Amino acid sequence: MHWSARVGSRRLLRCFAVGFACFLGASTLSLSSCDECATTGPPDPPPVLECNGPVTVTVSPGMTPTFSWTPDCTLGRLIVEAGPGEEYWGTETLGTNLYRSPIVYGVHPPGSVEQQIPEPLTPGMVFRVSVFYWATADPNSLDAGGRLIGQAEFTPMVDSLGVRNE
């Protein structure tokens, strides 16, 4: 074998060895980062902010409506009324904004301070749902109490066969 072929073979072998060492090093780094991902899991989703401004409230049809609001934010009180002072159902927290959208009529979300039993809704009657956020939990603050940030009117209906739409 000619001496230039031997030198070329050595260079080729050396390049192969260096390339293989780089591959092993990169593989080790990527494996350690994968192990880290497996133990920490995916990143947490961004936290949902407290409501502090107007929200748009929507109501599903039926005799047991679902109340939703956008933007996605937390609030502290929801009430359903037939007229001023005619509360049919309500739910609230103890001065903190914990409630996430949606809330089903008559179902108190976790963190509720009262377990008010809902009045049955009357088909064809107009109701109003109102949502509030707590500006502060301090009862001595001028901002104590819930601030109204959204409302919607709805009319529960019974279908043409006399079956309540639930």
pLDDT digits (tens, 9 = 90+) for 96-143: 899 999 999 999 999 898 778 999 999 999 999 999 998 876 655 555
pLDDT number for residue 31: 45
Percent helix, strand, coil in the chain (nearest 5)? 25, 25, 50
Query: Within its chain, how far is the Cα of 106 from the centroid?
Result: 20
How far apart are alpha carbons 135 and 156 in whole angstroms? Answer: 32
Give the per-residue pLDDT at 29: 46
Closest by CA position to 54, among listed 41, 36, 39, 73: 73
Q: How many CA atoms lie within 13 A of 28 on its CB side?
A: 6
Q: Which of 15-19, 47-51, 99-103, 136-140 has the lowest mean pLDDT?
A: 15-19
Kindly report the pTM of this predicted structure. 0.67
Tell me what pLDDT residue 30 has: 47
Residue 166's pLDDT is 46
The DSSP secondary-structure symbol of 62 reads S
Q: What are phi and psi of 6, to 5 degrees?
A: -65, -45
Report residue 82's pLDDT band, with 50, 70 and 90 as the boundaries: very high
Structure tokens of 114? 């009262």
Quick check: helix, strand or coil at residue 129?
strand
The two three-digit tokens of residue 31, written as one number: 């494996």
